[in-house]
Chain A
Amino acid sequence: MADALELKSVSAGYGETVVIEDINLAIKAGESISVIGRNGVGKTTLLATVMGHTALHAGTLALNGRDLARVPPYRRALAGLGFVPQEREIFPSLTVLENLEVGARAGHWTKERVFELFPNLKERLSNMGNQLSGGEQQMLSIARALLTNPTVLLMDEPTEGLAPVVVETLTAVLLRLRGESDLSIILVEQNSRVAFEFSTRTLVMDKGRVVYDGESATLRDDPERLAKLIGVSE
């Protein structure tokens, strides 16, 4: 059976500039991984490359065995990629309900299911996107991506800039999402505590390359190595 997502020797960047180099990554259906690393090492670019928002210089990408290299972003989304961007990017002139519906497709994830995950959103259906708090916007961003019924969900620092109590709530939601309906998740996260809690496998990036791909527990239990890889200890 083909991996849910497979990257082979991928180099990509913006225009002529190469940001990530020689990335090899394979994720099975239902598997979740975390990606950590210092600022500017290419974590967001990695997700943007999978979504097709960057220039692919070399290598191949495949989603469920289907080559994505020349596929435009919207077709990648239709093929099963969901994306929760770092800046949330809620449509401010659409209501919560309209934000959810705008890309919704039939499948495991229905409005009922996402409202179970995020009860707050159910109460805010007719509020405009720009009337939500940061936490609610993040919930809406995740819910919007889930309603596209992806097979692989890419999440770019969903807890960034949120109050600790909201981070707790979101982390609980992320844990619930793991393994749900064979959904594979790549979580880019600055907060290594959240990353290790989220997945048993962690990737560490540095200078555009993957410098560690292995057990989360190994890194968590080796603060010296972690500090060396990402410049901080837990």
Chain B
Amino acid sequence: MSAPTSAHEHPAARALAGRHRIRLWEIIPWLLAIAFYFAFPRYLGFGTELLVTILFAISLDLALGYAGIVTLGHAAFFGAGAYTAGMLAFHHIWSEPITGLIAAAVVAGAVGLGSGLVLLRTTGLTLLMLTLCTMALLEEAANLGGHYTGGFDGLPGIDIPPLFGMFEFNPLYPRVQYLYVLGVLFVCFVFVRTLVYSPFGQSLTGIRENTLRMHAVGAPVRVRLIVCYTISAAIAGVAGALWAQSNAYVNLSTLGLDRAATVLIILVLGGYGRLYGAFVGAVAYMALSHFLSKYFPTAWQLGLGLLLVVIALFARNGILGIFETLQRRIGIKRPSP
């Protein structure tokens, strides 16, 4: 046997170190987000909504893109988080925003864990329908529990105290909300990025690609799927709570099929299983929706539909997939994992 090379010289060690390294271009989305704050002060409401949507899409990407859990009911967790933060504040039980987010994450995570224990025994179409049913059940529960949830009208005018006791949330000039949501998005993103590049994240990719094979290498597939689903639900809950806090109201739309379908479309548009697909997809979808509805108020969804058809036909890996194909064609080397 040859003499072992030193730990740092070994190609495996180099590749491992490189996998976690932050690439220079990864700073760009964050710089753009900060630039947006200064460049478009009148659009910070739109920007805040965009950032919340990105976080929601990242949570779905973890479940769908990495673990291959097909779901059409992710808004269940978004809504669970939104209603948790909203109800705690509305009923004057707890309104401090950051701990409100933690409470939302715990509740949404618990919903994810409880439903995941049952749902993740199934796959494919059955799983898809059951996730949809879970969301519909929660939506109806929120509708029926009007005394606590405000029912069909929701909970308007939630009073959120200043962040750190200093920075006031102003619904008309949402500067604080924008920076607050950006900060939370950054923290959650770093967490998810670390997770997907960890051995746990690799095993999720393995499960998505070949469940039997993962069983054969000793991975407890179901447990890992449930853990992933729970984490994903908790992050979706944080997104929902951010939405409730920044808009100062909660309604049934947070638990609706519209929201669940939109985030799925965003992920398909940007490219799932890529982390940054959530950013690209959300920006593309929301910017297009915004401008198309402004200039073609009666037919703006046609434009979005056409774009989706084009993506589905010619770019199965979404907008980021197009860039990757172009990179390959012009011979740019893929960065080390």
- Chain A residues with CB under 8 Å of chain B are 51-53, 72-75, 77-78, 83, 85, 89, 91-95, 97-98, 101-103, 105, 111-113, 115-116, 122, 125-126, 144-145, 148
Contact = CB atoms under 8 A, between A and B. Distances in A.
In the complex, which of the residues B4, B199, B215 has the most CB atoms of chain A within 10 Å of its own CB atom? B215
A102 B199 contact: yes
Contacts of B214: 74, 102-103
Contacts of A125: 11-12, 15
A113 B221 CA distance: 28
Contacts of B16: 97
Nearest to B221: A74
Contact of A93 (B15, B205, B220, B336): B205
A77 B337 contact: no
Interface string B9-23: 011100110100000
Contacts of A111: 10, 12
Nearest to A72: B215
Given A97-B12, A122-B11, A125-B11, A148 B218 contact: yes
B201 to A, nearest CB: 9
Contact of A74 (B4, B218, B336): B218
A98 B11 contact: no
B213 interface: yes
Nearest to A81: B216
B71 to A, nearest CB: 20
B15 A73 contact: no
Nearest to A105: B218
Contacts of A78: 218
B217 A148 contact: yes
The 4 A-B residue pairs with the shortest CB-CB distance in the complex, in nearest-first order: A103-B217, A77-B218, A73-B215, A78-B218
Given A74-B221, A105-B218, A93 B213 contact: no
Nearest to B12: A111
Nearest to B209: A91
A74 B2 contact: no
A103 B199 CA distance: 9
Contacts of A94: 202, 205-206, 209
B330 interface: no
Contacts of B216: 51, 73-74, 77, 83, 85
Interface residues of B, number: 30
27 contacts: A51-B216, A52-B215, A73-B216, A74-B216, A74-B219, A74-B220, A91-B205, A91-B206, A91-B209, A91-B210, A92-B209, A93-B205, A94-B206, A94-B209, A97-B15, A101-B199, A102-B202, A102-B214, A103-B217, A113-B1, A115-B12, A122-B11, A122-B12, A125-B11, A125-B15, A126-B18, A145-B217
Interface string B43-54: 000000000000
B273 interface: yes
Contacts of A72: 215
B39 to A, nearest CB: 37
A148 B203 CA distance: 14
Contacts of B1: 113, 116
B212 interface: yes
Contact of B202 (A77, A89, A101, A112): A101
A72 B216 CA distance: 10
Contacts of A148: 217-218
Contacts of B205: 91, 93-94, 98
A89 B213 contact: yes
Nearest to B13: A111
Contacts of B337: 95, 97-98, 126
A123 B337 CA distance: 15
Given A91-B209, A93-B273, A95-B337, A77 B217 contact: yes
Interface string B116-157: 000000000000000000000000000000000000000000
Contacts of A51: 215-216
Contacts of B10: 111-112
Contacts of B4: 112
Interface in B285-337: 336-337
Contacts of B218: 74-75, 77-78, 103, 105, 148
A83 to B, nearest CB: 4
A91 B337 CA distance: 14
A102 B217 contact: yes
Contact of B203 (A95, A102, A122): A102
Contacts of B18: 126
A51 B208 CA distance: 20
A93 B221 CA distance: 18
A232 B327 CA distance: 52
